Amino acid sequence: MGNKHSCCVYPGGRSGHSASSQKGGGTGSEPNPEEVSEDPQCNLQHISEREPDDLDQDPSLHPTAGPLFLTKSKQVIENGLVRRRSRSHLEDGRTLKKSSSCSTIYLDDSTVSQPNLKNTIKCVALAIYYHIRNRADNRILDIFDERLHPLSREGVPPDYDRHNPEHRHIYKFVRTLFNAAQLTAECAIITLVYLERLLTYADIDMTPGTWKRIVLGAIILASKVWDDQAVWNVDYCQILKDISVDDMNELERQYLVMIQFNINVPSSVYAKYYFSLRTLAEANDLTFPAEPLSKERAQKLEAMSRICEGKYAEQLCRNGHKKWSSLDNVHAASRRSVAILS
């Protein structure tokens, strides 16, 4: 997947091409013009030169290709995801929904431009859960192995890579990083995009022994690309106190190499992942709570609607259409006739 002529050598012995393709044809033979040179500066293609077939198959770049986690979540597994029933659910499985009244209006507080932080992290953690639970194989790289690069001084138990983590454990790990680093909900969506881009480009799987470092590397890149005030690697060392700055730098560097330094996320791909996460939440009974409309929020919505209404009126005037005004905006002196109500 990706660049067929890349000179990048992945950690753990993987390379972009076989060793036999790097050798010459023989003594006195002409070099093959299609043969890849060993000069890195001649081999590394630009991101824009990626093959069209690869773009169509890459969900992190193509706006219509379905995200990987949706496919993983639809796979039938013997023991499904079991969570405690929320208070918003009835005994027969139906979901309680709040209805608006004359005095209170309930709105879904999560939008594509301003997602709800808590629910977005829950959905991202659920997507990671399905990546681990329904993985195709156990292909890993050394840089992500917790046994070789532990996140704590205690290390990992002997069976660290045998038991799949629960959804609540994944959510707790991601939520701790986001709260400590004060990251936004949009950053969580970008984290999932980078995570699936890594799995696609590097041809690896998320396993019980590698998922934490894979998620950590994606969060580091997402926070630096998305947020204006990025969190430094040394700041993450204050959160994960037993990890060194050199380890964080090496994790970030190799992560960038494996995704071929492609950190671009089109707006269409971002929107696709947002709505796909909402689809995943609905399929797994993760409801987005409706919040009562506050006075401040109502004023913001009214101001935004006035701006849109003004732009629409200007466009109609430019096209020669007349916008009819409400009777409330017409003064009595300018009326041609006065209605008499009896």
Tens digits of residue pLDDT in 169-188 = 999 999 999 999 999 999 99
Residues 244 and 299 in one domain: no
Can you give the pTM of this predicted structure?
A: 0.69
Do 262 and 145 lie in one domain? The reply is: yes
Whether 144 maps to a domain, the answer reads yes
Residue at 25 is within a domain: no
3-state secondary structure labels for all residues of the chain: CCCCCCCCEECCCEECCCHHHHCCCCCCCCCCCCCCCCCHHHHCCCHHHCCHHHHHHCCCCCCCCCCHHHHHHHCCCCCCCCCCCCCCECCCCCECCCCCCCCCCEEECCCCCCCCHHHHHHHHHHHHHHHHHCCCCCCCCHHHCCCCCCCCCCCCCCCCCCCCCCHHHHHHHHHHHHHHHCCCHHHHHHHHHHHHHHHHHHCCCCCCCCHHHHHHHHHHHHHHHHCCCCCCHHHHHHHCCCCCHHHHHHHHHHHHHHCCCCCCCCHHHHHHHHHHHHHHHHHCCCCCCEEECCHHHHHHHHHHHHHHHHHHHHHHHHCCCCCCCCHHHCCHHHCCCCCCCC
* Residues 248, 145 within the same domain: yes
pLDDT of residue 295: 82
Residue 95 lies in a domain: no
Q: 304 and 273 in one domain?
A: no
Q: Are residues 226 and 314 in the same domain?
A: no
Q: Is 22 among the domain residues?
A: no
- pLDDT of 286 reads 80
Residues 225 and 163 in one domain: yes
**In the chain, what percentage of residues exceed pLDDT 70?**
68
134 and 259, same domain (yes or no): yes
Q: Assess if residue 139 is contained within a domain.
A: yes
pLDDT for the residue 29: 47
Whether residue 125 is contained in a domain is answered as yes
Final residue of a domain: which of 284, 303, 335?
284
- Give the count of domains, the chain: 2
pLDDT in the model for residue 24: 39
Domain hosting 126: range is: 108-284
Are residue 184 and residue 218 in the same domain, yes or no?
yes
Low-confidence ranges of the chain (pLDDT < 70): 1-56, 76-98, 100, 103, 289, 320-342
Task: Tell whether 61 is covered by a domain.
Answer: no
The verdict on 268 and 315 lying in the same domain is: no
Question: Per the domain annotation, does 189 fall within a domain?
Answer: yes
Residues 236 and 192 in one domain: yes
CB atoms closer than 10 angstroms to residue 303: 10
For residue 149, the domain's CATH number is 1.10.472.10
Q: Say whether both 135 and 279 belong to one domain.
A: yes
Domain identity same for 197 and 135: yes
What pLDDT is stored for residue 40 in this prediction? Answer: 41
pLDDT the model gives residue 299: 84
